[in-house]
Amino acid sequence: MMYLDNSATTKPFPEVLQSFMKVANDYFGNPSSLHGLGMQAERLLTQAREQIARLLEVKPTEVIFTSGGTEGNNLAIKGVAWQHQQRGRHIITTTIEHPSVTEACKQLEQLGFQVTYVPVDERGIVSPTHIEQALRDDTILVSVMHVNNEVGSIQPIEQIGMLLKKYPKVLFHVDGVQGAAKVPLHLKRANVDLYTISAHKFHGLKGAGVLYVREGVRLSPLLSGGAQEMQLRSGTENVAAIVAMAKALRLSVEKYHEASARLEEMKRALIERLQAIEDIVVHTPFEQSAPHIIHFSLEGVKSETFVHELEKQHVYVSTTSACSSRKKVPSKTLLAMGVEKPRAERSIRISLSYEQQMEHISIIVEAIKRAYERLKIVARGTK
């Protein structure tokens, strides 16, 4: 089996599963309880928070545990909106954000907020100048993803963060779900106020994530209850999944240092081999893109049909993002990049992990060629 849908989710590391089972079985107490079992769980929660803070190079008190990327993005965007609506009701984001950002913004628009969706260029990259031009006196938040989940383009987060230093009343949120442990980002140097990660994107378990909230940033909570997580996210913490997430992040960061150059080399080789195939267009930019995502489109073949044809060879890829792949709509990111709708409807995403090796490239490309040729023969026969 060749699993190439790691942007949708990753297979948990064996050590991560072991940690989860150990904590879930032996340290099942509620971390808010006063008895010994509760205090054991609380200590594990504190240790996980400290470990994640070290890996992100932030303070433990700036690490808020969530259920994943969607909750983290909603808490960041809506939390800023509710908290600062008396000062302003204008938000800036881009045309290529994940649905958990764009849908949150659309909800706020229905409630009277105004959102500016800044366009991207043909590489899928937003211009810091265009972000600055969109700023208004009533702007309260800029939200820009670090790595695009469809084509892998890396956004100029550091440059945007530096320009926003001139506008201290504007908060800066970064959706880091596709970038964490794959593309380095120093949150403090980049002037990031809010940063979202999700455990299952770096070989942790689904249902756990982190929202980094810079010290001094005020948010209005989305959930009312027991005031856990610095009073920002009520609800009993999933201690086992959080401990597992801390281990997954540590292991993934170690893998990055060991294998990021190889992954980058694999991406480049795969892009070159795909570009050599007739009627395939690669949309991932060769430069300024993450090492694990390659996005291309096919001529004359439906993307969902191609996914299932490739699956017959036990090679697993996806169409657009996992959150929208079942809706059979064209890639929002490709449309924003200026790609024509018919081609945007036939796009395929390959997303690698550190488990893949250079010798897998030939296997992947040959499987793609076989599947594509087979479907073209079928298409010709039905005309």
Structure confidence by residue, pLDDT tens digits, 198-253 = 999 999 999 999 999 999 999 999 999 988 999 899 999 999 999 999 999 999 99
- Helix ranges (DSSP H) in the chain: 14-26, 36-56, 69-84, 99-110, 128-134, 157-164, 239-275, 303-311, 332-336, 341-344, 360-381
H or E stretch at 297: strand 293-298
Please, which residues bridge with residue 350 across strands?
A: 294
Is residue 154's pLDDT more than 60?
yes
Under the banding of pLDDT at 50, 70 and 90, the label for residue 383 is: low
Phi, psi of 64, rounded to the nearest 5 degrees = -110, 125
Structure tokens belonging to residue 134: 């969109």
Calpha distance 167→342 (Å, rounded) = 41
pLDDT, mean of residues 154-173: 97
> What is the pairing mode between strands 90-94 and 139-145?
parallel
Which segments of the chain belong to CATH 3.40.640.10? 14-250
Which segments of the chain belong to CATH 3.90.1150.10? 2-7+259-381
Give 97 or 231, the one with higher predicted confidence: 97
Structure tokens belonging to residue 67: 């259920």
Structure tokens belonging to residue 84: 């600062």
Among 70-84, 105-119, 367-381, name the one with the lowest average pLDDT.
367-381
> What is the pairing mode between strands 139-145 and 114-118?
unpaired
Please, which residues bridge with residue 174 across strands?
A: 144, 195
HEC string for 215-256: CCCCCCCCCCCCCCCCCCCCCCCCHHHHHHHHHHHHHHHHHH
pLDDT score recorded for residue 326 = 55
Global pTM reads: 0.95
Structure tokens belonging to residue 214: 């810079």
Is residue 377's pLDDT more than 90?
no
pLDDT score recorded for residue 380 = 66
pLDDT score recorded for residue 320 = 72
Buried b (16+ CB within 10 A) or exposed e, 198-232: bbbbbbbbebbbbbbbbeebebebeeeeeebbeeb
Under the banding of pLDDT at 50, 70 and 90, the label for residue 379 is: low
Q: Residue 194 in contact with residue 148, Cβ under 8 Å?
A: no
Q: Residue 195 in contact with residue 143, Cβ under 8 Å?
A: no
Is residue 85's pLDDT more than 60?
yes
The domain 14-250 having CATH identifier 3.40.640.10: the answer here is: yes
Under the banding of pLDDT at 50, 70 and 90, the label for residue 10 is: very high
The domain 2-7+259-381 having CATH identifier 3.40.605.10: the answer here is: no
Query: CB-side exposure of 142: number of CA atoms within 13 Å?
Result: 30
Under the banding of pLDDT at 50, 70 and 90, the label for residue 329 is: confident
Calpha distance 240→245 (Å, rounded) = 9
Calpha distance 346→280 (Å, rounded) = 10
Is residue 61's pLDDT more than 80?
yes
Is residue 382's pLDDT more than 80?
no
Q: Provide the 8-state DSSP code for 108.
A: H
Phi, psi of 19, rounded to the nearest 5 degrees = -65, -45
Contact residues for 304 (Cβ-Cβ < 8 A; gap 6+): 319, 325, 328
pLDDT score recorded for residue 378 = 78
Is residue 62 packed enough to be buried (19+ CB in 10 Å), middle (13-18) or exposed (0-12)?
buried
* Residue whose pair of structure tokens reads 């009312």 in the numeric block: 224
Model confidence pLDDT, tens digit, residues 164-194: 999 999 999 999 999 999 999 999 999 999 9
pLDDT score recorded for residue 327 = 58
Calpha distance 229→63 (Å, rounded) = 8
Mean per-residue pLDDT over the chain, rounded: 95
Q: Which is catalytic among the residues 259, 323, 363, 365?
A: 323
**Residue 105 annotated among the catalytic residues of the structure:** no
Model confidence pLDDT, tens digit, residues 296-310: 999 989 999 999 999
pLDDT score recorded for residue 323 = 53
Phi, psi of 196, rounded to the nearest 5 degrees = -105, 135
Give 381 or 18, the one with higher predicted confidence: 18
